Amino acid sequence: MSHAAMSSELFNKTIVELAELLAAKTITSVELTQAVIDRTQSVEERVKAFNSFDAAAALAQAAASDARRAAGQSLGALDGIPIGIKDVIAVTGQPLTASSKMLANFVSPYDATVTQKLKKAGAIIWGRLNLDEFAMGSSTENSAFHTTRNPYNLDCVPGGSSGGSAAALAAGEAIATLGSDTGGSIRQPAALCNVVGLKPTYGLVSRFGLIAFASSLDQIGPFNRTVEDAAITLQAIAGYDENDSTSVKVEIPDYRAALKTKKGPWRIGISKEYFGEGLDPEVAAAVEKAVSFYEKMGCVIKNVSLPHTEYGVGVYYIIATAECSSNLSRYDGIRYGHRSADAKDIVDLYYKSRAEGFGPEVKRRIILGTYVLSSGYYDAYYLRAQKVRTLIRQDFLNAYNEVDAIITPTTPTPAFKRGAKADPLAMYLCDVYTIGVNLAGLPGISVPCGFSSSGLPIGMQLIGQPFKEADLLAIANAYDSAHDWAKRTPNL
């Protein structure tokens, strides 16, 4: 093992470290970007985190960043930092595939709002990261192109759906990445790949330019090596966007400054509903150790009740599939995307293009969602699910009368072997601890908190109050800055 040696490599450093090196002109962005490109070219064959990358475009951006800095016009901590983008977020002139055959040849003519914001912050828009097709899955095994590997054990999955985003960062193929989280798609792979993953409050980050899976649940968020890096990245992408009617006009505080000003002690909640059957004992032990840490630093640990937790997965698979069945209707082979070569009329064109273009999990969810919205079933499924969703949110809001944040395991188990969860239901249960956060629209962050006996990463989840990311990040940072799990880089 050569962890210490690898940590000294540029591609394994944090944004904070690299920003200092860049500012001191010890390194250039071109050198950093080249180091990331070289690293990617050396490990990507094993990790398979990317769908595509454009080294020339990245180096051109890096040169522009260096020119800015030379002219004394640096745009801040992210200026010159290569950030990988999940392949559901639009970047002008780059492929936008959602890891689906349906969009295999689609190139985006426009930028997502987050892409625009990262460009304005000077970040280098780096490669297109693999995912479960249309962000539907928890292992990236549903990618139509290839399965991404867990850098800590190449036989294991990196989690999903943002598996490429988590694996690329863990493997040193990017300095930070963006993912999207509908039911745990940032936090779960972050936990499985030993990185920090933040799902912001619904409405904090614009969804414009994010390929929709379930509109009322989707949220873009960052993957980082430390909570402090997460604060910096969130700062760049958060904020109201007039192109997204569901984005919210709220004051955006200085998240990084809040890490220092907000010192606790906090009231931290534990819910028995998150420590029940199916939880791996090693995961439970690691999270309990983190709880002890908070207790030792003077936090009050309180039991809170989230009684509707058990309905989360059921409610999620009604609401998410209903929305996806409608959101994915636009992929019809008419204007863009896969079009069947041998359709004989318009109905046949729809059937064949969609049958050929979508993979089995996407089809399963479209069919389920179409069913729950059908005339005669709407009230029993969709409407009732929305009501239970309100109860789940109310559970959390009640708990926040007593605590500042809630701590849970991010996932029931560490990373599992590829092909181990062939049963869709078993796969759906990977998100049992993360789904409630999306249903309630809350911010949630996964922070590395240990390793299993077999050397696989373990993550804990902290769930915060709506739009109080500053507090959530401060609480997470208290633990993260006192531990160095993330420094334990994979041996690739």
Judged by CB under 8 A, does residue 330 bind another protein?
Answer: yes
Chain residues 192-221 in contact with another protein, contact rule CB under 8 A? 207-212, 214-216
Binding of residue 170 to another protein (CB under 8 A): no
Task: Choose one: 106-114, 229-237, 357-365, 438-446; the region binding another protein (CB under 8 A).
Answer: 106-114
For this structure, is 162 an active site residue? Answer: no
Rounded least distance, CB 355 to another protein, Å:
14
96 binds another protein (CB under 8 A): yes
Dihedral angle of Cα 23, 111, 219, 486, to the nearest 10 degrees: -30
Say if CB 126 and CB 149 are below 8 A apart.
no
Distance CA 299, CA 313 (A): 31
The residue from 48, 65, 74, 86 that is catalytic is 86
Whether 108 is catalytic is: no
Choices 59-67, 183-191, 227-235, 327-335 (CB under 8 A): range interacting with another protein = 327-335
Six token digits for residue 20: 């200092």
Question: Given the rule CB under 8 A, which of 47-55, 66-74, 368-376, 410-418 is the region that contacts another protein?
Answer: 368-376
Find the binder of another protein among 19, 49, 81, 88 (CB under 8 A): 88
Catalytic residue among 161, 165, 271, 325: 161
Contacts of 16-25 with CB under 8 Å at 24 or more apart are 16/77, 16/226, 16/228, 16/229, 16/232, 18/80, 18/81, 18/175, 19/77, 19/78, 19/79, 19/81, 22/69, 22/74, 22/79, 22/80, 23/69, 23/74, 25/69
Q: Which of residues 224-283 bind another protein (CB under 8 A)?
A: 242-246
Complex with another protein: residue 8 or 375, whichever CB lies closer: 375
Catalytic residue among 185, 206, 247, 353: 185
Is residue 429 near another protein by the rule CB under 8 A?
Answer: no
Q: Is residue 392 a contact residue for another protein (CB under 8 A)?
A: no
Interface with another protein (CB under 8 A), residue from 106, 145, 223, 255: 106
Among 26, 73, 105, 329, binds another protein (CB under 8 A): 329
Residue closer to another protein (CB basis): 19 or 440: 440
Q: Decide: is 92 part of the binding site for another protein (CB under 8 A).
A: no
Interface pick for another protein out of 90, 167, 204, 476 (rule CB under 8 A): 90
**Is 421 in the active site?**
no
Near another protein by CB under 8 A: residue from 109, 298, 360, 455: 109
Question: Which residues are near another protein by CB under 8 A?
Answer: 88-90, 96, 98, 103, 106, 108-110, 112, 207-212, 214-216, 242-246, 322-323, 325-326, 329-332, 334-336, 346, 350, 370, 373-375, 378, 382
Question: Annotated active-site positions, please?
Answer: 86, 161, 185
